[in-house]
Structure 1
Amino acid sequence: MTDSTEPKIAFIGAGSVVFTQGLLADLFSFPELTRARIALHDIDPERLATAEGAAQRIAATRGAEPTITAHLDRRAALADADFVINIIQVGMDEATRTDFHVPARYGLRQTIGDTLGIGGIFRALRTFPVLRGLAADMSELCPHALLLNYTNPMAMNVLYLSRIAPKLRVTGLCHSVYWTMHDLSELVGVPFEEVSYLAAGVNHQAWVLRFEQAGRDLYPLLDEAIAKDPGLLRRVRVDMYRRLGHYPTETSEHSSEYVPWYLHHDSEIERLRLPVGAYLDIIEENTASYERTRDALASGTELPVEGTLEYAPQIIHSVVTGTPRTIYGNVPNRGLIDNLPSDAAVEVPCLTDALGVQPTRIGALPPQLAALNRAYVSVNDLVVRAATDDDPRHIRHAAMTDPATAAALPVERIWELCDDLVRAHGELLQPGLRELLGT
């Protein structure tokens, strides 16, 4: 940033109140951002009012003096923004339940359903029309703003935006690498502050390539910890680590959905303690958390909010102040990882400073890791092509290519399932993708 105006930060989907609160608490922890202009947007008036009230309360608690505005009109929130944080969920809980209940009738199991698999495919397809509108508005109203995307499916959304709006400055943000390394440090008994690490791959399926303390490889300590605790062997990510040689950066629940080996088999579900349908419980808790916030504001009771250590506030602070940091971001590949497609959305370390977000070149991943990532990004490519080419056949091609879906269902049933989900999501999909194709 070059002028003296306080930065304007637009929250798109601010009705995700609990997440908005955490991000604001992080932002206001930086003295340089306590007078920022915060523009909140949501299409739900009650949730928007709750987000505004929570923002005012957090600012007062933190001693911040921001300018806070609330907008049902997205364009008003975006006008002259310096940063845009995208946290939308198109279709909300009802659409998510559909993504679980309809496939379950076919015997298809999911745990989280927001990144890959049949749930990730249809979450993307109902999100893309909103992203297209957001990209068009930003291109007109704030073309130089940084778009910091938290909305899943992360890799599909970043890929879609890079294809429809290549000039937009987009970085996808996820906390999985940070918390994986935090937890691994605790597991091996080394203070997180003393750990150096390098991870790369794709969102929710990146890999810990280096795990060190002052140049010492910590993987042998991880092996010792696993040997001492047989319970760790009953986790998907530990099973994958032992077979692939590098630890995956997302939870076992997530990781099980991106490969064909686990959810299709009753014995593996039992051995690895996989909670089928876990996200349905999470969305109930998210709703309860929102209601607690809403009720606390209405009654004037205390609203405790802790910082989240998320990347978006750190990036904003780095750009505003020039403070250099390394974060993990999801960006178009463009030569960052040699053995993945050039336009795939990849997750790599990024330098952030006054110039923005600058990704780090990794080189080649170990071949077994790249092979799994290529299956993942092939699904992403077909889902995005379904939308950009307006071709409903590519929805079915993506589902056929998806490892977990293909392991569970014969091809005829995959096409029938796609038809049922197209019917169920209806007008949330772009018109050209609503066609039923049968088998």
Structure 2
Amino acid sequence: MIAATKDAKNLNIAYIGGGSRGWAWGLMSDLATESELGGTVRLYDINKQAAENNAKIGESLKGRVDVVSSWNYEASDSLQQALTGADFIVISILPGTFDEMHSDVHLPEEYGIYQSVGDTAGPGGLVRALRTIPIYAELAEQIRDYAPDAWVINYTNPMTLCTRTLYEVFPGIKAIGCCHEVFGTQKLLTHVVEELLGEPAPDRREIKVNVLGINHFTWLDKASYKQHDLIPLYREFVDRHFQDGFEAKGTGNWLNDHFASAQRVKFDLFRKYGVIAAAGDRHLAEFMPHSWYLKDKETVHSWKFGLTTVDWRKSNKVRLEEQGSKLASGEEAFELKPTGEEGVEMIKALLGMTELVTNVNMPNTGQMDDLPLGAVVETNAVFGRDAVQPIHAGKLPPALHAHIARHVYNQEAILRAALDKDRSEALRAFQNDPLVSLSPDQAEELFDRMLANTKAYLPGWE
């Protein structure tokens, strides 16, 4: 029971994937500006040099006038060293390399299958899961052996199956999967308030929502601001902006931002089902039938979102590596930027310092109706001292629930296939994905080619 007696100024955080140039830097920034917490962050990464660079960056924050907390940063030599004595564990890793991800995303294009992200659903998401699940199975065993009482905050995709694997291998784990996609939809709803109620756009936390679904295929069937029901207002907002889409001022344009969209997929799904799709368009499109939004590049363009290429990710990685070297050497100063993530707020709530209600991914214990118990779902939960209690969210409309259930059962099949190294089970899940609109023979050919390209991460597969 770490939160009952733990000194909030003497915490131990293990960061798995601590060589990250995105999530790790963000955590450093958020911790630096939280005066009520302090302690040691142990950074572990298979790329030891990257973790050592991040330790130098973290240590460089000491003594700065804009830093209000005291943290020590260390690069750990082993996973065991990072985990031992940890109060909290943050996991943010890249399962494989961008070469494997290039196959995940772009090889299916030879078969007419386009993916806007390729890390959760579709053929890319499935193959990524097959190489990620063994890694997470090992992490679960290590956490069980060296930090069984720690709270685990996972940011890695595929979020659902990463979290599901942790609980499957170590049922006593205290783990949550965290995703910011719902935050973006709350932010969109602040523009509904601004445009239709004539009030200044509020903080997104003032938008109260009921969250239900699975990660990246998440929905809101209730949304309110003060005394206002936002569902009918959102319907009017969608009608106003459906044709041209909506992009808030200062947010960039979907044509020149790899992660932006004009919300047209989100608007179309609201028209179809009457509830608010709460993930970004790039993710939502991958859960729906192939012909809807990802039939070809022209179709994608008409819905005003983009296909994020792995070549861009590779070039961005080089840029971030160069920046990391400059930050570690002191050639460039580390800029504190609030991430908008809630990891630090979660830590405070789990220590009993505050209470928090937010969306998380956890095994279904009844918070979502008519879905298998144990399957990981995304709903709101109440955080308190050493406890996270999911809130009952109900059930989505029948036509939409059918889509959700299909993916849930497919994810369970992928989990079993990965743990059992069962090619036949994995192939059945692959062929059952809505984006894989191929003949059985074509699907198997693509599956085998993708599997061959990731075989280095599939130990024991025949």
Give me the TM-score of the superposition, normalised by structure 1: 0.93
Partner of 2:53: 50
Partner of 1:199: 211
Match of 2:233 among 221, 233, 246: 221
Q: Does 1:2 align with 2:31?
A: no
Q: Does 1:71 align with 2:83?
A: no
Task: Select between 253-262 and 191-200 the one with higher mean Cα deviation.
Answer: 191-200
Q: Does 1:211 align with 2:213?
A: no
Task: Select between 270-279 and 71-80 the one with higher mean Cα deviation.
Answer: 270-279
SS of the residue corresponding to residue 382 of structure 2 reads strand
Partner of 2:339: 308
| Distance in 2 separating the partners of 1:262 and 1:244 | 16
Distance 1:268 1:166, change over 3 A: same
Partner of 1:135: 140
Deviation string for 1:251-296 (max 9, x for gaps)? Answer: 1111111111221256532421342344542453344234223223
Deviation string for 1:145-194 (max 9, x for gaps)? Answer: 11111100011111222222211111100011112111221244142354
| Distance in 1 separating the partners of 2:206 and 2:157 | 31
SS of the residue corresponding to residue 43 of structure 1 reads coil
SS of the residue corresponding to residue 337 of structure 1 reads coil
Partner of 2:33: 29
Task: For residue 77 of structure 1, report the CA deviation from its aligned partner.
Answer: 0.4
Equivalent pairs, count: 430
Name stretches of at least 5 consecutive residues in structure 2 with no aligned partner: 195-200, 247-261
Aligned pairs for 1:360-379 within 5 A: 360-379=391-410
Q: Does 1:330 align with 2:361?
A: yes
Partner of 1:421: 450
SS of the residue corresponding to residue 454 of structure 2 reads helix
Partner of 1:248: 277
Q: Does 1:14 align with 2:14?
A: no
Cα RMSD of the aligned pairs, angstroms, is 1.9
| Distance in 2 separating the partners of 1:210 and 1:146 | 30
Asked if structure 1 preserves the Cα contact closer than 8 Å seen for 2:210 and 2:393, the reply is no
| Distance in 1 separating the partners of 2:380 and 2:318 | 33
Aligned pairs for 1:16-415 within 5 A: 16-33=20-37, 35-61=38-64, 62-189=67-194, 190-192=201-203, 193-229=205-241, 230-232=243-245, 235-260=264-289, 261-265=292-296, 268-278=299-309, 280-405=311-436, 407=437, 409-415=438-444
Deviation string for 1:412-437 (max 9, x for gaps)? Answer: 111111111111111211313xx3xx
SS of the residue corresponding to residue 221 of structure 1 reads helix
Asked if structure 1 preserves the Cα contact closer than 8 Å seen for 2:43 and 2:75, the reply is yes
SS of the residue corresponding to residue 329 of structure 1 reads strand
Deviation string for 1:204-232 (max 9, x for gaps)? Answer: 11111111122321123223333333312
| Distance in 1 separating the partners of 2:62 and 2:96 | 30
Distance 1:201 1:70, change over 3 A: same
| Distance in 2 separating the partners of 1:305 and 1:166 | 37
Distance 1:284 1:159, change over 3 A: same
Asked if structure 2 preserves the Cα contact closer than 8 Å seen for 1:112 and 1:279, the reply is no
Distance 1:70 1:18, change over 3 A: same
Task: For residue 74 of structure 1, report the CA deviation from its aligned partner.
Answer: 0.9
| Distance in 2 separating the partners of 1:254 and 1:273 | 13
Matching residue's letter, 1:2: A
Task: For residue 302 of structure 1, report the CA deviation from its aligned partner.
Answer: 1.8
Distance 1:24 1:102, change over 3 A: same
| Distance in 2 separating the partners of 1:223 and 1:212 | 13
Asked if structure 2 preserves the Cα contact closer than 8 Å seen for 1:30 and 1:317, the reply is no
Asked if structure 2 preserves the Cα contact closer than 8 Å seen for 1:23 and 1:307, the reply is no
Asked if structure 1 preserves the Cα contact closer than 8 Å seen for 2:57 and 2:328, the reply is yes
Asked if structure 1 preserves the Cα contact closer than 8 Å seen for 2:52 and 2:74, the reply is no
| Distance in 2 separating the partners of 1:325 and 1:59 | 29
Partner of 2:254: none
Task: Select between 262-271 and 306-315 the one with higher mean Cα deviation.
Answer: 262-271
Structure with a larger share of its residues in helix: 1
Deviation string for 1:338-397 (max 9, x for gaps)? Answer: 122222110011111112221111222222231111121122111101022321111111
Give me the TM-score of the superposition, normalised by structure 2: 0.88
Matching residue's letter, 2:455: G
Asked if structure 2 preserves the Cα contact closer than 8 Å seen for 1:375 and 1:403, the reply is no
Name stretches of at least 5 consecutive residues in structure 1 with no aligned partner: none
Task: For residue 4 of structure 1, report the CA deviation from its aligned partner.
Answer: 4.4
| Distance in 2 separating the partners of 1:103 and 1:47 | 32
Task: Select between 378-387 and 192-201 the one with higher mean Cα deviation.
Answer: 192-201
Matching residue's letter, 2:361: N
| Distance in 1 separating the partners of 2:191 and 2:304 | 22
Asked if structure 2 preserves the Cα contact closer than 8 Å seen for 1:28 and 1:59, the reply is no
Task: For residue 21 of structure 1, report the CA deviation from its aligned partner.
Answer: 1.2
| Distance in 2 separating the partners of 1:27 and 1:279 | 31
